[in-house]
Amino acid sequence: MSTIAAIGMGLSPIGDVLSMKQNGSPGERSYVPYLSMMASSLLWTMYAWQTSNILPLGLTNLVLEILSGGYFIIFLLVSQSRKRWNAILASSIVFLTIQATYFYVTSDVPELIEPRLGLIGCFVTCLMFLSPLVTIKNVLETRSSGSISKSLAWGSFVNSVLWSWYGILENNLFVIIPNVIGTVSSVLQLLLIWYFPPRSLIPTQQKLSAKILPRV
């Protein structure tokens, strides 16, 4: 069930990505959630390889890596030059850091490889769940949640709740901690979406209100 939820979370941004491709622009959206999902999935795939946990951990994160990589590429293709180069620079730094970290961890004492990779994966997953909140300043200034993906927020919520429960059953803090943070982060995103609806929805809501109000 948790595996299905994780893949469901990976599939949840498809609507937003198709909208970006159709409009030829990312709009208010940020590349950070896609990049952080790529980084987190890559680290957990490495962890799965080292711990021989190919199913379900390895396969699940490999699927997420492919999906998030596709989203990131589409973001680059539809972005203006400045956003595109910012995203390329950030992704280069992230993946060089992951590569260096992996070689450092795996070249040390074998008994320490698993806990160290798990700790790093836990930290990066926390960043992945918190990444949509990088636009919170923009949301408060514009009073519009257009930069937050509603589908990804719901996907993260369901995924985080189920994996938190799985972590509790397995007594695995590497699973519990990031997913509890993911649950809190996704709830905050959903509250922001509810309180500050995207700009495209505001005119519709105003029209509905006008129809409901009685004429004097």
Query: Which tens digits make up the pLDDT trace of 47-94?
Result: 888 888 888 888 999 999 999 999 999 999 999 888 888 898 899 888
CA-CA-CA-CA dihedral for 177, 182, 188, 190, to nearest 10 = -150
Please tell me the predicted confidence (pLDDT) of residue 200. Answer: 64
pTM (predicted TM-score): 0.82
**CA-based nearest residue to 174, from 69, 74, 55, 40:** 40
Please tell me the predicted confidence (pLDDT) of residue 202. Answer: 46
Please tell me the predicted confidence (pLDDT) of residue 109. Answer: 74
> What are the residue boundaries of the structural domains of the chain, listed by start?
2-205
Structure tokens at 160: 């985080």
How would you write the pLDDT of the chain (216 residues) with one tens digit per residue? 778 889 999 999 999 999 999 999 998 888 999 999 999 999 889 888 888 888 888 899 999 999 999 999 999 999 988 888 889 889 988 888 887 788 777 776 777 788 888 888 889 999 899 999 888 988 999 999 988 999 999 999 999 999 899 889 888 888 899 999 999 999 999 999 999 998 765 444 444 444 444 444
- Residues near 182 by Cβ (< 8 Å), separated by ≥ 6? 125, 126, 128, 129, 156, 157, 159, 160, 163, 164
Residue whose pair of structure tokens reads 């699940």 in the numeric block: 60
Angstrom distance (rounded) from CA 203 to CA 15:
22
Please tell me the predicted confidence (pLDDT) of residue 166. Answer: 85
